[in-house]
Structure 1
Amino acid sequence: MASRDADRITSAQQTLDILYEMSQLLNTQLDKETLATCVSMIEGGVNPEALAAVIQELRRENAALSAHTDVNKEL
């Protein structure tokens, strides 16, 4: 049984490695931990398109906050 569990873990890690390589090629700017979280959420039933939209919105908000902070630093 332990060997089967080890095989599953190895397989899951290989799958995550491949997904990470693909995400790098697609320039998603997701680190491995975030990508693993996204995969887990999708496997749990979260709509992938909705998840992508949330990530894009969070990035837009982060960029706006960064720009606002940069302007305040110059003042």
Structure 2
Amino acid sequence: MSTKPSEGNASAQQTLDILYEMSQLLNTQLDKETLATCVGLIESGVNPDALAVGTIALYSRAQSLMVRYQEVIQELRREGAARAQPSAE
């Protein structure tokens, strides 16, 4: 006798919740949606090691872009503040 689809969904959700708790303990910085996507990819046959390498590379790139973004924002604020000050003539 097969289980009901809702039981399977509940089991999958419980498994994802446990994996999410583990990822939080390991400080993976993955949200539930990203974790679910990774699990789905692995279940579809993607090599977990390759997925980890790709995920780390994307995360590193995103971090470097965020740092650059913050630098540009600070520079624009300084330029704006300099333009707002009356010139000494």
Count of aligned residue pairs for this structure pair? 75
Equivalent position of 1:12 in the other structure: 12
| TM norm structure 1 | 0.88
Distance 2:64 2:24 in 1: 24
| Structure 1: gaps of 5 or more residues | none
In the TM superposition, 1:1-75 aligns within 5 A as 4-75=4-75
Q: Indicate the percent of aligned positions where both proteins have the same amino acid.
A: 55
Work out the CA distance in 1 between the residues paired with 2:13 and 2:34: 14
Per-residue deviation, 1:74: 2.6
- The runs of 4+ residues in structure 1 deviating greater than 3 Å are none
- Normalising by structure 2, we get a TM-score of 0.76
**Which structure has greater helix proportion?**
1
Unaligned runs of 5+ in 2: 76-89
